[in-house]
């Protein structure tokens, strides 16, 4: 069998790990450095991805393209690929709503490619058993075979565009949604001066929550800028099936307060994070008092 070339857009922490996971199956991994940051370049070099320079070259070179990017730009990335007339298999592995996944599918298919919906659950795929990628669509099993010898477990779902994204939405609605709720509760308790008393009560009745609320800061602060778009996608997904969407729109607003910690090497303490949330939540996006 001829070697398969997989292009990744773009090798952030997760994207680079997904790219590296295909190498054990014998695939060659490529990326396009044009317009990308020094940090992205460093990750690509560390994972030995071959740089083809431009998106146009990546489209010409790749048998499969995998998109792993912030959800707010997922459609733009797909449109850029479609504009290059990519004719093979495109995997959108972004944290988007089922409806957004179906819109991206239409963009990709109009450009002449086959669309595969994807949703990744877990940290960057560096060790076996830590991370799963769900896939749906007509070429899902073909894509899954690329990862069979690597650390990323791939699970194929029945259904077309939207199925894998729906599972990711349902999972993250709880994990990232409850993390945001815990941060909001601790900020409220701090504002009212009862945080210490609340923690003591939790220790008596819900002993896991103090640690979970501390972990919500450690696990979320440096990635909160990415979670803003994901929470909005989850809210849209809930609204589309007639459910209240306010839970996750509020979570998006809260994570937006923590965008200053993007990619920080040292996450803030819970006290620092709640102070920032309380300060920034007093103002709207234009800086006006609420």
**Segment 128-173, tens digit of pLDDT:** 999 999 999 999 999 999 998 889 999 999 999 999 999 999 999 9
Residue 285 scores a pLDDT above 90 = no
Residue 37 scores a pLDDT above 60 = yes
CB under 8 A, 24+ apart: contacts of 183-188? 183/213, 183/216, 183/217, 183/220, 183/254, 183/273, 183/274, 183/277, 184/250, 184/254, 184/277, 185/213, 186/213, 186/270, 186/274, 187/274, 187/277, 187/278, 187/281
Angle at 16 between CA 41 and CA 115, to 5 degrees: 115
Strands (E), the chain: 5-9, 28-31, 50-51, 64-67, 89-92, 114-121, 132-136, 153-156
pTM score: 0.92
What value does the mean pLDDT of the chain take?
A: 94
Residue 205 scores a pLDDT above 80 = yes
Integer Cα distance of 219 and 183 in angstroms: 12
CATH fold for the domain made of 5-159 = Rossmann fold (3.40.50)
103 vs 12, higher pLDDT: 103
| The pLDDT of residue 26 | 85
Contact 254, 225 (CB under 8 A): no
Integer Cα distance of 223 and 184 in angstroms: 17
Residue 115's pLDDT band, with cuts at 50, 70 and 90, is very high
Residue 283's pLDDT band, with cuts at 50, 70 and 90, is low
Question: Residues of CATH 1.10.1040.10 domain(s) within the chain?
Answer: 166-280
Q: Which CATH architecture has domain 166-280?
A: Orthogonal Bundle (1.10)
In angstroms, the Cα distances linking 18 to 13, 30, 93, 131, 250 are 9, 12, 10, 10, 30
Question: Residues of CATH 3.40.50.720 domain(s) within the chain?
Answer: 5-159
Residue 286 scores a pLDDT above 60 = no
Percent of the chain with pLDDT over 90: 86
Each residue of 41-98: pLDDT tens digit?
Answer: 999 999 999 999 999 999 999 999 999 999 999 999 999 999 999 999 999 999 999 9
Angle at 171 between CA 167 and CA 173, to 5 degrees: 115
């Amino acid at each position: 069998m001829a070697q398969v070339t997989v292009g990744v857009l773009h090798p952030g922490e997760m994207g680079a790990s997904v790219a590296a996971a295909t190498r054990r199956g014998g695939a060659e991994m490529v990326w396009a450095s044009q317009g990308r940051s020094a940090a992205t370049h460093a990750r690509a070099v560390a994972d030995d991805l071959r740089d083809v320079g431009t998106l146009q070259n990546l489209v010409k070179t790749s048998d499969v393209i995998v998109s792993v990017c912030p959800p707010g730009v997922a459609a733009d990335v797909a449109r850029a690929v479609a504009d290059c007339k990519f004719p093979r298999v495109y995997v959108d592995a972004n944290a988007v709503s089922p409806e957004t996944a179906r819109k991206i599918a239409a963009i990709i298919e109009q450009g002449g490619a086959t669309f595969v919906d994807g949703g990744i659950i877990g940290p960057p795929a560096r060790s076996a058993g830590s991370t799963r990628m769900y896939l749906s669509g007509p070429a899902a099993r073909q894509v899954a075979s690329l990862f069979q010898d690597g650390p990323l477990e791939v699970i194929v779902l029945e259904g077309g565009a939207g199925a894998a994204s729906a599972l990711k939405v349902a999972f993250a609605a709880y994990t990232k949604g409850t993390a945001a709720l815990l941060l909001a509760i601790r900020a409220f308790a701090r504002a009212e001066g009862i945080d210490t008393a609340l923690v003591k009560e939790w220790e008596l009745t819900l002993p896991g929550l103090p640690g979970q609320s501390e972990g919500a800061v450690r696990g979320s602060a440096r990635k909160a800028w990415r979670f803003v778009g994901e929470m909005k996608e989850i809210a849209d997904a809930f609204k589309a099936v007639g459910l209240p969407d306010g839970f996750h729109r509020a979570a998006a607003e809260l994570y937006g307060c923590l965008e200053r910690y993007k990619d920080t090497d040292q996450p803030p303490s819970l006290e620092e994070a709640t102070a920032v949330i309380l300060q920034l939540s007093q103002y709207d996006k234009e800086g006006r008092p609420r």
